[in-house]
Amino acid sequence: MILTLAFRNLFHDRIRLAVTLVGILFSIVLVAVQLGLYLGASNMITANIDHAKADLWIAAYGAKSFEDGGMLLTPRERHQALATPGVKAVIPLVVRFAEWRKPEGGSTRVVLVGTDAEDGGLVPFDLVEGTWEDIKAPEAIAVDKTYLNELGIKGLGDTAQIANGRVRVRALTDGVRSFTQSPYAYTTLNRSRALFGDSDNTTFYLVQLQPGANVQKVQHELASRLEGAEVLTHEEFRDRSLKQWLFRTGAGVALIGGALLGSLVGTVIVAQTLYSSTKDHLSEFATLRALGSSSGYIHKVILAQAGISAVVGYLLGISIALTILVFSRNTALPMVMTPGLAFWLFALTVGMCAISALSAIVKVTKIDPATVFNR
């Protein structure tokens, strides 16, 4: 009967129910989009780091992100690292902004990534056309399909100019988007060095450890041996990149702020409608109390009202959020939805509605069953 009464109380006033649901729905959509974009941005920022097989990253001192390394590390650091106990392999990786001159004129910036797949460090991922072998061909390079327009090319076989040399597209990735809006271009280590007119420097060394080696210990040892370089764990480097792009630029703050605002607005709307619904049904709650119901019983009715609103509002909200997700797929910042995020959104909705129920519960706690006779 608790659920029945809660349902009837809710559906009794359809307009108020609509307001409640729209409130929850907007709030869920807002939070889902903001957090979905945040997740999307995070994924973009860390995709290359996550795909690299490295226990530790050696970067030039002060490197702020994957894209911000320069080419300051020399073979000397590599030899020092290799001589450190516990280290199995030290794999060079070049990452650097470069000028991309379009075949038909004009130019844009790309992030050129130089890596040798054979080394087992970073292997270009999500290739949909061509293979890593194709990238080894002279002048070869891989870019992402979704950026062809911006790069002023049509597809495989087209040529362009990067820094000092000509490149030809031999492979295509799909969906490897860049948060900086400068597309990633993948080539071999040596070609990337040649394009930048450099022979043996590098941006990062990916350090792989021997089985059983203690990551922290090796990190500490490396740090003390290498001057002017920093040694970061996978997680540390990831966090640093996220911090750089999401928080130094304010983008993440705006997204998280939007999400907080969304949940706040939702809570206020639901609290308001639930409170006014409770006020309208106060005489019924007083009757219930006079009939001998415990206050817990009445609280359950109100919580059930909140819970039903939460479930219905969530289902509507998440459907709209998923629709938005589909439409955002090929934009500069695609939204991401994971089962985890969907679950947290549901938890948030339920929490929001439970908090909203508090004001109504406080109101109903004050009812005097004696009022039943004075009507």
Positions that interact with another protein (CB under 8 A) = 1-2, 4-5, 8-9, 11-12, 283-284, 287-295, 297, 369-370, 372-375
- Residues 109, 182 contacting (CB under 8 angstroms): yes
Using CA atoms, how far apart are residues 281 and 259, in angstroms rounded to an integer?
33
- Report the 10 Å Cβ neighbour count for 37: 24
DSSP character at residue 97? E
CB-nearer residue toward another protein: 301 or 325: 301
For residue 18, give the nearest of 262, 273, 268 by alpha carbon.
Answer: 273
φ, ψ for residue 169 (rounded to 5)? Answer: -75, 120
CB-nearer residue toward another protein: 166 or 300: 300
CB-nearer residue toward another protein: 18 or 370: 370
| Strand residue runs (E) in 102-189 | 107-114, 127-129, 140-144, 159-162, 165-173, 184-187
| Strand residue runs (E) in 164-297 | 165-173, 184-187, 204-209, 229-233
Alpha carbons within 13 angstroms on the beta-carbon side of residue 251 total 16
Helix axes 14-51, 234-242, angle to 10 degrees: 130
* Residues listed for the chain: 375
CB-nearer residue toward another protein: 212 or 292: 292
Using CA atoms, how far apart are residues 93 and 181, in angstroms rounded to an integer?
21
CB-nearer residue toward another protein: 208 or 287: 287
Using CA atoms, how far apart are residues 118 and 36, in angstroms rounded to an integer?
35
> Residues 64, 173, 151, 112: what is their CA dihedral angle, to the nearest 10 degrees?
40
CB of 4 to another protein, least distance (A): 6
DSSP character at residue 118? G
CB-nearer residue toward another protein: 272 or 295: 295
CB-nearer residue toward another protein: 223 or 290: 290
